[in-house]
Amino acid sequence: MARSALATLLWSETPDEAAANNLRLTLHRLRRALDEASPGAAEALLHISGGQIMLDAAALTLDATLFLAELAAVASHRHPDPTLCADCRQHLERAARYRGELLAGFGLTDAPPFEVAAGAARAAGAPVHRGLHTLAAAHAAQHDYPRLPVRRARWRWTRSARKPTARL
């Protein structure tokens, strides 16, 4: 992505020069934070050359991507009740790596284009919410109550921004 496009996306209501400076400072902080978390991570993930900024998606592991892969495995396993199948429960347990909605509680009021893009990405998470509900139902069907509240709370939290709390 072009630096100027990213600066405009994040600071659309800021003068171009100030937006470019904000982006420069933010990238510096991001590189420092990545390297503090894991030495060499910034170089592996961020490729900044000329006027372009690229994120190496192959170097990332996203909880939502892993979760959706596990849900796909459950969906492809044809049987009447996925909550009772041991293989499907195992897939759903591995799906518990999901950590919550994208940028939950975060917003940039002075960047409408960013808000539109983030909203679209959050809306794409609907299959994740269905999977968390299925996982909660699987625990309930197996009378695995000690683990049920954690799954229900996580499902409720991720949906709270869009709808009233669901009841299981």
Q: What is the pLDDT of residues 9-59, one digit of tens each?
A: 888 888 999 999 999 999 999 999 999 999 999 999 999 998 999 989 888
pLDDT of residue 76: 80
Residue pointed to by tokens 């904000």: 22
Same domain, 74 and 88: yes
Same domain, 17 and 52: yes
d(CA 159, CA 154) in angstroms, rounded, equals 9
pLDDT of residue 13: 85
Q: Is residue 164 part of a domain?
A: no
pLDDT of residue 75: 75
Global pTM reads: 0.51
Query: What would the mean pLDDT of 142-163 be, rounded to a whole number?
Result: 51
Number of domains in the chain: 2
Residue pointed to by tokens 């510096």: 28
Between 6 and 161, residue with greater pLDDT: 6
Same domain, 45 and 69: no
Domain of residue 82, residue span: 63-159
Tokens of 51: 């006027």
Query: What would the mean pLDDT of 75-102 be, rounded to a whole number?
Result: 68
Among 33, 59, 85, which residue terminates a domain?
A: 59
Q: Is residue 35 part of a domain?
A: yes
pLDDT of residue 104: 64
Task: Write out pLDDT tens, residues 138-150.
Answer: 767 777 666 554 5
- Other C-beta atoms lying within 10 Å of the C-beta of residue 112: 12
Q: Does 164 score more than 70 pLDDT?
A: no
